[in-house]
């Protein structure tokens, strides 16, 4: 069973202390739990085992045409001027050890599996099991896990590689 490691939304706007969405408490949770160190360890292990790594991040075009302004989760991205592709906002947190072999894929919805590029890449590589971590546990991770299941992937949530705003929400 071929596996892939998928990490969701470890981008500056959400997990860097200066990010607008980080003000909800994500950086503090990650710091308290040593999550970034655990991510880097998992990345090293995945690469040693030749498990492909995918960073799947929110990212919108300059005109935010993909955003439904009625969405309670992403609807205000354009109003706040955040989460545009290829900006500081959507860059991977610099403390995460990215490798040139890792793939970065943008998504425009909560679930990573809303990205046809991710699904096609996994299918093309004959991946049948996905290992998932990300932020936020109750949003991107949960949504991605449910959709991955519905797409017939075997799923393992790597709890130590997940983060959110509080332990209660994480649990």
pLDDT at position 167 is: 83
Q: Residue 89 pLDDT > 90, yes or no?
A: yes
3-state secondary structure of 57: strand
Q: Residue 26 pLDDT > 80, yes or no?
A: yes
Cβ atoms 6, 131 nearer than 8 A = yes
Q: Residue 61 pLDDT > 90, yes or no?
A: yes
């Amino acid at each position: 069973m071929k596996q892939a490691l998928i990490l969701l939304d470890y981008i500056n706007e959400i997990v860097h202390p200066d990010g607008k969405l980080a003000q909800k408490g994500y950086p503090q949770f990650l710091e308290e739990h040593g999550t970034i160190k655990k991510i880097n360890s998992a990345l090293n292990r995945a690469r040693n085992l030749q498990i492909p790594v995918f960073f799947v991040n929110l990212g919108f075009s300059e005109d935010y045409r993909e955003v439904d302004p009625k969405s309670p989760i992403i609807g205000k991205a354009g109003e706040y001027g955040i989460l545009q592709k290829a900006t500081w906002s959507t860059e991977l947190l610099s403390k995460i050890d990215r490798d040139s072999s890792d793939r970065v894929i943008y998504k425009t919805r909560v679930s990573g599996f809303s990205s046809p590029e991710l699904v096609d890449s996994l299918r093309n590589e004959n991946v049948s099991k996905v290992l998932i971590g990300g932020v936020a546990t109750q949003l991107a991770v949960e949504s991605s896990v449910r959709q991955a299941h519905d797409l017939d992937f075997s799923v393992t949530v790597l709890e130590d590689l997940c983060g959110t705003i509080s332990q209660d929400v994480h649990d």
